Structure 1
Amino acid sequence: MHDLSALYAKAVLTAPLRRGDRLPVGEQVSEVDVDADHLADYARVCGFGLRDELPITYPHVLSFPLSVRLMTAREFPFPLVGLVHVTNVIHRERPLLVTERLTQRVRLANLRPHPKGRQFDVVTETSAGGEVVWREISTYLRRGPSTSDAAAPGLEEVDAGEPTATWRVPADTGRRYAAVSGDRNPIHLRALPAKAFGFPRAIAHGMWSKARCLAAFAERLPDRCAVEVAFRKPLPLPSTVDFAVRAHHDGRDFALLSRSGKPHLLGAVR
């Protein structure tokens, strides 16, 4: 995994200078060969078994350095630290194999109002053999003045049923996921920087939560599918959470819930 420390330092130093209402034009491109050791570390942190097929969320961490480069470019209008990941949608045409060489392209798109500020998309395409087989749209929020007529992204009704499992999420989950993903946003690592952004203690990465949920039924995912999640209530570390999943005629709904029943994450597989 790439060391992104220099880019995060740049993000902190340039944060006071960032302003504007346009996203950078262009894309970042990378050729990727899967590292078996890194894949094993990722699988261990997120709860996946080791198979010839890549976990459906794994291309996200492979492309994350490209996203950070775009969001630390001089033209990017917002401070990187403080952006809120609000939704993530992955479309998979077929499973990717460990042995395949991948091409990844990442761009920023669709800056628009949000009820709590402004939102934009990080769009990623992953190709194998010259064919795009994995697509992702991650939507981020930059908090600011509200826009009453703006639409917030998110799922419609999710019916995940009653909890089927209870998980203990250790205090070091943010640090362990940061080590395999490269996402070293300080709100996920230590309580002190998290408190500076209004959290009582460090919070789990949204994409760890999505991966951990999908790992619970990874072998039952269709080869061709779309998996959408909405990140709701931040997941403080450590925590005890309930997991619920229910099959429907056209897929599955799932949820990660606090012990009081409030959703940390709502998801659907179609």
Structure 2
Amino acid sequence: MRAEPAGGVMSLVLTGSPSLPPLLARGALLSPFKRPSPDAEFPRTRLVLPGLRVDLARLAAYERVCGFATGDDALPLTYPHVLGFPLAMRLMSDRCFPLPLLGLVHTSVDITRRRSLPATGTYELAVYVGGLEPHRRGTEASVITEVRDGREGGDVVWESRSTYLARHRTHAEPSAERAERAPLPVLAEWRLAGDVGRRYGAASGDRNPIHLHPLTARLFGFPRAIAHGMWTVARCLAAHGAPDPVRVRAEFRAPVLLPGTVTYGAEGGRFELRGSGDRLHVSGRVDPLP
């Protein structure tokens, strides 16, 4: 790897994608020592991975578990998040990252794709922490992922902003609950098997114990394993479709317990996933870019 200064932010160029298990272990071990605060310092490093090629076998496994058509030349809209996840974990498991990795909640994702990305293309990944913000329930961090055309000086063709919440005591006044919109027209009912978290974890590399087994999920306060938030968005987008260029915004409102049954609803550019009693799990919208 090599370091290069870039506008006051240090760009660290990697020679390969980091291995996730050691990062998850390090993040777990350091979590009890973190003191989250919106005023805390955070890593100012921009991790860059050039010359990235997609593993087509792993891509096919991802497409199958998320419901995308397999064998398409273009990457699914959400797949670059998987490619950037190891770099994001390297930043969030770092000693200098102030939020504890254990208990960190993925609250939203905002994706912009400017053109389709061929599965056989070569790309440059960049991931960095966008900043910290106060939240009524704690502190929220934003993590930015960019994908550039692999050619020298290539343009950004895909980018995302994910927000992650560390819950802790705050002095914020309780906010009024958001009024829920009426449910969207139901287009499908999906019965989710108990192994969805394990299958998605194998395809994406995200083997967080809350997604893998009821016993490990109970250690973190969940009655059963829960589905990955990015799986729920990917599954909705596989059903909804997305044009090029496009912007997708989604909020994760409540965990999806596995196994379980959910309904997928959509109307116009909006989509959602609901559970029993019309409990809203995911809400989002798809907007074509001019």
What TM-score, normalized by structure 1, do the two folds share?
0.91
User: Aligned equivalents of 1:126 and 1:160: distance in 2?
Assistant: 34
The 8 Å contact of residues 82 and 142 in structure 1, kept in 2 or not, is answered as: yes
Which residue does 2:224 correspond to in 1?
201
1:54 aligns with 2:75: yes
* Closer/same/farther in 2, CA of residues 173 and 131 from structure 1, 3 Å limit: same
Letter of the aligned partner of 2:163 in structure 1? T
Which residue does 1:165 correspond to in 2?
188
Structure 1 residue 217: Cα displacement: 2.5
State the aligned residue count. 262
Matches within 5 A, 1:12-91: 12-19=28-35, 21-31=40-50, 32-50=52-70, 51-91=72-112
Task: Report the RMSD for the aligned CA atoms in angstroms.
Answer: 2.0
The 8 Å contact of residues 143 and 161 in structure 2, kept in 1 or not, is answered as: yes
- Which range moved further: 72-81 or 89-98? 72-81
The 8 Å contact of residues 256 and 265 in structure 1, kept in 2 or not, is answered as: yes
User: Aligned equivalents of 2:80 and 2:266: distance in 1?
Assistant: 23
User: Aligned equivalents of 1:160 and 1:121: distance in 2?
Assistant: 29
1:266 aligns with 2:283: yes
Letter of the aligned partner of 2:216 in structure 1? P
- Structure 2: stretches of 5+ with no match in the other structure: 1-16
Percent identical: 45
Letter of the aligned partner of 1:262 in structure 2? R
1:171-198 CA-partner distances (Å, limit 9, x unpaired): 0111111111111111111222322222
User: Aligned equivalents of 2:49 and 2:144: distance in 1?
Assistant: 14
Structure 1 residue 157: Cα displacement: 7.5
The 8 Å contact of residues 18 and 90 in structure 2, kept in 1 or not, is answered as: no
User: Aligned equivalents of 2:163 and 2:275: distance in 1?
Assistant: 23
Which residue does 2:163 correspond to in 1?
139
* Closer/same/farther in 2, CA of residues 164 and 150 from structure 1, 3 Å limit: same
* Closer/same/farther in 2, CA of residues 3 and 179 from structure 1, 3 Å limit: farther
User: Aligned equivalents of 1:211 and 1:158: distance in 2?
Assistant: 22
The 8 Å contact of residues 3 and 182 in structure 1, kept in 2 or not, is answered as: no
Letter of the aligned partner of 1:74 in structure 2? R
The 8 Å contact of residues 158 and 254 in structure 1, kept in 2 or not, is answered as: no
Q: Which structure is larger by alpha-carbon Rg, 1 or 2?
A: 2
Letter of the aligned partner of 1:64 in structure 2? F
What TM-score, normalized by structure 2, do the two folds share?
0.85
1:114 aligns with 2:145: no
User: Aligned equivalents of 2:94 and 2:18: distance in 1?
Assistant: 17
Name which structure has the greater RCO, CA cutoff 8 Å, separation 6+: 1
Structure 1 residue 78: Cα displacement: 2.1
* Closer/same/farther in 2, CA of residues 15 and 161 from structure 1, 3 Å limit: closer
Structure 1 residue 138: Cα displacement: 0.3
Match of 1:256 among 266, 273, 282: 273
Match of 1:6 among 11, 22, 47: 22
